[in-house]
């Protein structure tokens, strides 16, 4: 959690907060998706997190990707903006959020995988037809929608 969100949480406790985040779906040359096993809910998710005040969204996505995975995004393509009931979540610690998730796709990256030990338990590339069942609830539908569109050729 960034310093801004920590300050907000000190004021509102666990109450509902609207949170705008930037995320990245990474695909390797074998069309496998990079997922991270989150420390907070023990579910798999793509890299991403809250945008800092005055931060450019694409830069936030690149920052989150690097912080959580050690990878540097050389090129990002906007996939979509997701919000609404499917993006509502209550974390195990009781923090409630209504996420607005701005999701990018990255196929062009460099670096070596390295877990952000404070937030990530494991990093793994999964074949698109063998994704883990325990996807993090706020991103599960986004991931399934992406995979369906990608497998049907709607996304290059």
Average pLDDT per 10 consecutive residues for the chain, totaling 156 residues? 91 96 98 97 97 97 98 98 95 95 98 95 98 96 97 91
> Does a structural domain hold residue 12?
no
Nearest CA to 98 among 84, 109, 108, 112?
Answer: 84
Is 59 strand, coil or helix?
helix
Q: How far is CA 88 from CA 18, 110, 122, in A?
A: 9, 32, 24
Cβ count near 63 (within 10 Å): 19
**Radius of gyration for the chain, computed over Cα atoms and rounded to the nearest angstrom:** 15
> Does a structural domain hold residue 143?
yes
> Does a structural domain hold residue 28?
yes
**How far is residue 111's CA from residue 47's CA, in Å, rounded to a whole number?**
15
Q: 52, 68, 122, 154: which is the annotated catalytic residue? A: 122
> Does a structural domain hold residue 13?
no
> Does a structural domain hold residue 103?
yes
Residue 80: the pLDDT is 98
Would residue 32 show up in a list of annotated catalytic residues for this protein?
no
Residue 156: the pLDDT is 80
Residue 63: the pLDDT is 98
Structural domain including 118 reads 19-151
Pairing of β 17-26 and β 96-111: parallel
């Amino acid at each position: 959690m960034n310093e801004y969100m920590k300050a907000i949480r000190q004021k509102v406790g666990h109450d509902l907060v609207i949170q705008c985040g930037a995320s990245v779906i990474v695909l390797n040359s074998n069309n496998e998706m990079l997922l991270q096993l989150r420390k907070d809910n023990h579910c798999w998710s793509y890299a991403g997190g809250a945008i800092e005040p005055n931060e450019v969204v694409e830069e936030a996505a690149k920052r989150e990707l690097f912080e959580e995975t050690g990878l540097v995004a050389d090129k990002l393509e906007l996939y979509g903006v997701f919000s609404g009931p499917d993006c509502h979540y209550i974390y195990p610690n009781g923090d409630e959020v209504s996420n607005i998730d701005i999701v990018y796709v990255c196929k062009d990256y460099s670096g070596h995988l390295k877990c952000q030990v404070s937030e990530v338990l494991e990093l793994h590339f999964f074949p698109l037809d063998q994704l883990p069942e325990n996807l993090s609830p706020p991103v599960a539908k986004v991931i399934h929608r992406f995979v369906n569109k990608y497998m049907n050729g709607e996304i290059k």
